[in-house]
Amino acid sequence: MREIPGRRRKFPLLRQSGSQALLRAALTCATEWRWPVLPGVGLQPGGGGRAGECGCPHPECVVPGAHPFDPGLLAATTDPRMVRWWWTNRPNAPIILATGGRAPCAVSLPAVAAARALAVLDHAGVRVGPVVATPTRWSLLVAPYGLEELGELLHNQDWVPGSLRFHGEGGYLVLPPSQTGAGRVRWERAPQRRAAVQWLPRVGTVLDALVEASTSAPGGGSRLAY
């Protein structure tokens, strides 16, 4: 794609720096950590990331701006050329991680319960990997798992709160520093710098604490709280 000389000067400095941060983050995921990514649908122009409407055609979208649309999830890649092309054409697009396979999986839960669970894990000396946070939900990245492994783990639980969400094979997760309808996405626990392979706990190592924290949360952990 040919760049038009001087075009970048028309963008406000804040927008340009934010866009560059998204491109750099997407390239880091794809090239350094080998995490397959793609651009999310984003918000309608002028939404401001707070009460902004989703860029998809569904007026009642429950995760505005925070999901794939075009391209679809299967387009996720680690190819730096494709990543650069996407974020050059859509510089404010959220970064979507395609979970599962060789990429990390994740378990997400409401922010209050997640903070409680992390405190319990820290107190017990359990090593936790990167944690993605939005104002309403936090997501713990875990090692890739299969449906059979997850099913067995959940079967051993007395009760699994409906507020827990599992991002495995065929799933996705929005990564920092994306802006969505729920607010800015950030790292609560940042990935290791200069680490070619990010260390991730097994899902079974953290599941008990996440279930317990969600169960004891206000409302009994039954509220999904997107």
Note the pLDDT tens digit of each residue in 19-43. 699 999 999 999 999 999 999 999 9
Evaluate the omega torsion of the peptide bond into residue 161 and state whether it is cis, within 30 degrees of 0.
Answer: no
pLDDT band with cut points at 50, 70 and 90 for residue 188: very high
Least Cα distance to 187 among 196, 195, 197, 178 occurs for 178
| Chain segment 112-149, per-residue pLDDT in tens | 999 999 999 999 999 999 999 999 999 999 999 999 99
47-52 mean pLDDT: 52
**Cβ atoms within 10 A of the Cβ of 104, count?**
24
pLDDT band with cut points at 50, 70 and 90 for residue 18: low
For position 143, what pLDDT does the model report? 97
Give whole-number Cα distances, 111 to 133, 177, 188, 214, in Å. 8, 17, 11, 10
For position 28, what pLDDT does the model report? 96
> Six-digit token pair at 67?
């999901």
pTM: 0.85
For position 16, what pLDDT does the model report? 42
Tell whether the model's pLDDT for residue 14 goes beyond 50: no
Give whole-number Cα distances, 41 to 14, 37, 55, 58, 64, in Å. 21, 13, 6, 12, 8
For position 145, what pLDDT does the model report? 95
Average pLDDT, the chain: 86
Q: What does the alpha-carbon distance between residue 199 and residue 180 come to, in Å, rounded to a whole number? A: 27
